[in-house]
Chain A
């Protein structure tokens, strides 16, 4: 089960080498994204996650908010 984290934990995990992934559409990513985040829209997760992400490293996903 994925672990829910807050922004403090995001920063700690990034220091540990986590991969940060924004799953919003690309145009939203282009406007603003967290430093170091890559764009992997939800609809392309199936086809690209395994190619783009390293399974051996932690992954943090985020979108806009909890709504």
Chain B
């Protein structure tokens, strides 16, 4: 649609026309702000916990487990220095051998979701799939936060 619009505007005499080909989906998937009726509704990126512990591939599981436990969390996201998500450890992974590196212990390449997903939708699916938590990432794979099912369900319930 936008290419046709761009070309048509040129033919109507507009001299400087640009086509943002990746469109609104790209904008929203990058976690950028939008306006409109949906903008007022909570989304995954708004509700995700930004203070989720993060650690690197080479970190020792025993050290990370101590840190995570002391902060009251039972999950840690494995990222690089750019906050690109490589893996996830939940209780089961965190209970593994302390001498392992996170790279060895983690669930690699976890499913992630975009910040603009409606919280009602996330609550519904996380409940159906019994998913306790999910990393929320931008379209370039960077961590926004960890969405907890309990938070998603609570916020979705408040919205109604």
Contact = CB atoms under 8 A, between A and B. Distances in A.
Contact of B22 (A6, A13, A53, A57): A6
Contacts of B34: 32-35
Report whether over half of chain A's contact residues are helix, strand or loop; otherwise say mixed. mixed
Contacts of B37: 30-32
A63 B6 contact: no
B8 A55 contact: no
B39 A61 contact: no
Contacts of B8: 45-46, 49
A59 B17 contact: yes
B131 interface: no
Contacts of B33: 35
Given A33-B35, A49-B14, A58-B18, A66 B23 contact: yes
Interface residues of A, number: 40
Contacts of A53: 9, 14
Nearest to A24: B1
Contacts of A24: 1, 24
A62 B38 CA distance: 18
A60 B18 contact: yes
Given A7-B27, A42-B1, A35 B17 contact: no
A56 to B, nearest CB: 8
B14 A63 contact: no
A22 B24 contact: yes
A37 to B, nearest CB: 8
B16 interface: yes
Interface of A: 1-7, 9-10, 13, 18, 21-24, 29-35, 37, 42, 45-46, 49-50, 53, 55, 57-66
19 contacts: A2-B7, A5-B19, A5-B21, A9-B20, A10-B18, A18-B18, A22-B24, A32-B34, A34-B24, A34-B32, A45-B5, A45-B9, A49-B12, A50-B12, A60-B19, A61-B2, A63-B23, A65-B24, A66-B21
